[in-house]
């Protein structure tokens, strides 16, 4: 039996736990909201599932709530943001703020992070930029213990799921994409296993190094190995993962196989389309592009064409009174976290 | 019987034809060299195969040799380059020159093209930027008659093969990638057919809308339809193609389904890594990344790991005395082009 909990109440509860652990209220609210939003969007791997891990991170010093962040290298268009192990979401929005400020004057800006924790859903930053009339391109990278993705033709994990996200304004909702550069992230595999579904073809390697779409293999093999996007053209997926690593890792000064690398690295590029053409024209052409793509007839087995961003919009932002299903284990972990800091687990949201 | 011709001689011959058709010598040499280089790198679809099509383009006014190019929108970090239907390669290198000049002062720069012809191999521009110690990211788009790529779950072509290329400097050769955002471009399909090979799985749609890896289907179906990169996760390939379209098309003011769009659009972003960390550190970490990726054991069926750029390097730039095999049809077309402009087809190169 999955507990059905009100999302607003859960957001408030998580925030109160973060505050009880020394997090400034504004940051606590931000992180709790981001976790809830990701869950509401169906991206459970960046959602409230992560909450107990965040609480544990604060307790063991991996996350430092309220830590003072600041730029350590800076030019008119670029910055390296030292996140000082604050929450990754707090860091991500600070990186975005810096990039947007620079782009307002100089039309382009790029920011990378150092000492950054789990940034959560990368698309959130791109989406926020598009709401300001900007194009954003973001990518992320991870530390070696999370290097589960093998290079094309390889047996050993050498890359993270290294997501890429982008967003662009249109006349209505932004065009938005946010995806791992492997076939399926570990979060996708966990969901597929729970719902007894197969993954797309050639998503994982089994113990013998043979490709499989059975998500159970990920948890029965001695080593968890994910395959790069692209199947027989998987060198393209590897090239995308390497691009993310170059921008979000190397550019921040990381050494690829350094076991002490931070949990995540973030690269955020902002482009002001009004430097190229009137913003309304850009928005109008973006809407036309989406309509043009949607105008294709669906192939057998598909009932309609889903353009980038459509899925996120169809699920929409958390609505007042919205509830979510939590697995009993996660719910118990949340209750334990509350008890541990003396927060009464009420859900009157 | 494939004619085996010296590459230097062929380059010189193509240049002389371009000059006879009114192309300034420097531009003629540049375009001829780019076509030969692509062929030498095994990228035949951007190689000398294209030469007769270029000659025809000059004759019918689609390509305007020597046309005056200039920026029509410009800021300190951005530019829209009106290519005035000059050769795409001449335009591409001019876009690169502008971007590199701006990045030298402002650390980031982005240039898009208007009225641009076939740009040839996108990786060439990224590679040239990396040789200058810069990171480059490029993408390209095409006009509706070349919209052979269906969106994920769709039956109708709505996107071009929209390539993405990037390069970054290391201690030795740049890390370099250059790939279409579909499973296989039409050029790949043509080569596979010629060599009686299958394409990677789910590369094409047949007449019934069923996915296939048989390249012959592309030429027997009433409509040529290519599938986006990613198979069952092909929404990621579509998202990549849409990114290229947004940057290289929409940002240049193109309307997606406008039949009068130019042959290609190019978006070129240049990032100066020395704005983030000492250049030598970046190069060193890039080399370490490549070594780390190569250190994976190969999977069954693979003999080694190929990192982005390795294939291009293994084929290397055209060497003095290098010869290439041309199919008789292409060779005859080249001879015809020479005859048409009164150039004696000597190959003493």
- Interchain proximity A154–B184, CB inside 8 Å: no
DSSP state of A301: T
B72 contacts in chain A (CB < 8 Å) = none
Angstrom CA distances, A230 to A239, B256, B330, B342, stand at 11, 26, 32, 48
To 5 degrees, how large is the angle CA B176–CA B180–CA B183? Answer: 120
The whole-number pLDDT of residue B349 equals 44
The whole-number pLDDT of residue B322 equals 85
- Interchain proximity B288–A257, CB inside 8 Å: yes
The whole-number pLDDT of residue A315 equals 60
Q: How much of chain B, in percent, has pLDDT values that exceed 90?
A: 74
Q: What is the pTM of this model?
A: 0.96
A304 contacts in chain B (CB < 8 Å) = 153
Residue-wise pLDDT for A143-169, tens only, equals 999 999 999 999 999 999 999 999 999
Q: Residue B99 pLDDT more than 90?
A: yes
* 3-class DSSP string for chain B: CCCEEEHHHHHHHHHHHHHHCCCCHHHHHHHHHHHHHHHHCCCHHHCHHHHHHHHHHHHCCCCCCCCCCEEEEECCCEEEEECCCCCHHHHHHHHHHHHHHHHHHHCEEEEEEECECCCCCCHHHHHHHHHCCCEEEEEEEECHHHCCECCCCECCCCECCCCEEEEECCCCCCEEEEECCECCCHHHHHHHHHCCCCCCCCCEECCCCCEECCCCHHHHCCCCCECECCHHHCHHHHHHHHHHHHHHCHHHCCCCCCCCCCCEEEEEEEECHHHCCCHHHHHHHHHHHHHHHHCCCECCCCCCCCCCCHHHHHHCCCCCCCEEECCHHHHHHHHHHHHHHCCCCCCCC
Residue pair B76/A276 in contact by the 8 Å Cβ criterion? no
Task: Tell me how far apart the alpha carbons of residues B250 and B267 are, in angstroms, rounded to a whole number.
Answer: 10
Residue-wise pLDDT for B336-348, tens only, equals 988 888 888 776 5
Residue-wise pLDDT for A93-121, tens only, equals 999 999 999 999 999 999 999 999 999 99
Task: Tell me how far apart the alpha carbons of residues A37 and A318 are, in angstroms, rounded to a whole number.
Answer: 6
Backbone torsions φ then ψ of B151, nearest 5 degrees: -70, 160
B208, B252, B285 ranked by CB distance to A256: nearest: B285
State mean pLDDT over B192-218.
91
Q: Residue A255 pLDDT more than 90?
A: yes
Confidence of residue A349 (pLDDT cuts 50, 70, 90): very low
B132 contact A CB<8A: no
Q: How much of chain B, in percent, has pLDDT values that exceed 70?
A: 97
Q: How much of chain A, in percent, has pLDDT values that exceed 90?
A: 74
B226 contacts in chain A (CB < 8 Å) = none
Task: Tell me how far apart the alpha carbons of residues B324 and B339 are, in angstroms, rounded to a whole number.
Answer: 22
Confidence of residue B204 (pLDDT cuts 50, 70, 90): very high
B311 to chain A: nearest residue by CA? A235
A242 contacts in chain B (CB < 8 Å) = 175, 177, 289, 293, 307-308
Residue-wise pLDDT for A177-198, tens only, equals 999 999 999 888 888 888 899 9
Structure tokens at B218: 């592309």
B106, B229, B257 ranked by CB distance to A236: nearest: B229
Q: Minimal Cα–Cα distance from A51 to chain B, Å?
A: 28
B277 contacts in chain A (CB < 8 Å) = 73, 80, 251-253
Q: Minimal Cα–Cα distance from B14 to chain A, Å?
A: 32
A205 to chain B: nearest residue by CA? B299
């Amino acid at each position: 039996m999955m507990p059905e909990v009100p999302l607003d109440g859960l957001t408030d509860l998580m925030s109160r736990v973060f505050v009880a652990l020394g997090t400034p209220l504004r940051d606590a609210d931000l992180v709790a909201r981001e976790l809830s939003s990701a869950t509401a969007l169906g991206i459970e791997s960046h959602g409230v599932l992560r909450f107990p891990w965040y609480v544990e991170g604060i307790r063991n010093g991996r996350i430092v709530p309220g830590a003072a962040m600041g730029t350590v290298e800076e030019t008119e268009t670029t910055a390296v943001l030292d996140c000082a192990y604050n929450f990754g979401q707090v860091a991500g929005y600070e990186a975005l703020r810096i990039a947007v400020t620079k782009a307002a004057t100089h039309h382009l800006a790029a920011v990378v992070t150092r000492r950054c924790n789990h940034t959560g859903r990368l698309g959130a930053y791109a989406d926020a930029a598009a709401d300001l009339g900007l194009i954003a391109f973001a990518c992320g990278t991870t530390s070696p213990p999370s290097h589960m993705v093998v290079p094309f033709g390889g047996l050993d994990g050498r890359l993270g799921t290294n997501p890429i996200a982008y967003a662009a304004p249109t006349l209505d909702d932004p065009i938005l994409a946010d995806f791992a550069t492997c076939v399926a992230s570990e979060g996708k595999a966990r969901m597929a296993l729970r719902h007894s579904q197969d993954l797309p073809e050639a998503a994982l390697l089994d113990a013998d190094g043979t490709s499989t779409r059975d998500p159970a293999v990920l948890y029965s093999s001695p080593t968890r190995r994910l395959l790069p996007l692209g199947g027989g053209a998987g060198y393209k997926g590897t090239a995308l993962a390497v691009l993310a690593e170059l921008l979000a890792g190397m550019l921040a000064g990381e050494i690829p196989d350094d076991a002490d690398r931070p949990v995540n690295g973030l690269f955020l590029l902002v482009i002001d389309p009004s430097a190229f053409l009137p913003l309304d024209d850009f928005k109008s052409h973006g809407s036309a592009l989406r309509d043009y793509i949607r105008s294709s007839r669906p192939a057998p087995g598909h009932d309609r064409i889903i353009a980038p961003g459509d899925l996120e919009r169809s699920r929409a932002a958390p609505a007042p009174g919205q509830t979510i299903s939590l697995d009993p284990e996660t719910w118990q972990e949340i209750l334990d976290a509350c008890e541990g800091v003396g927060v009464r687990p009420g859900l009157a949201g």
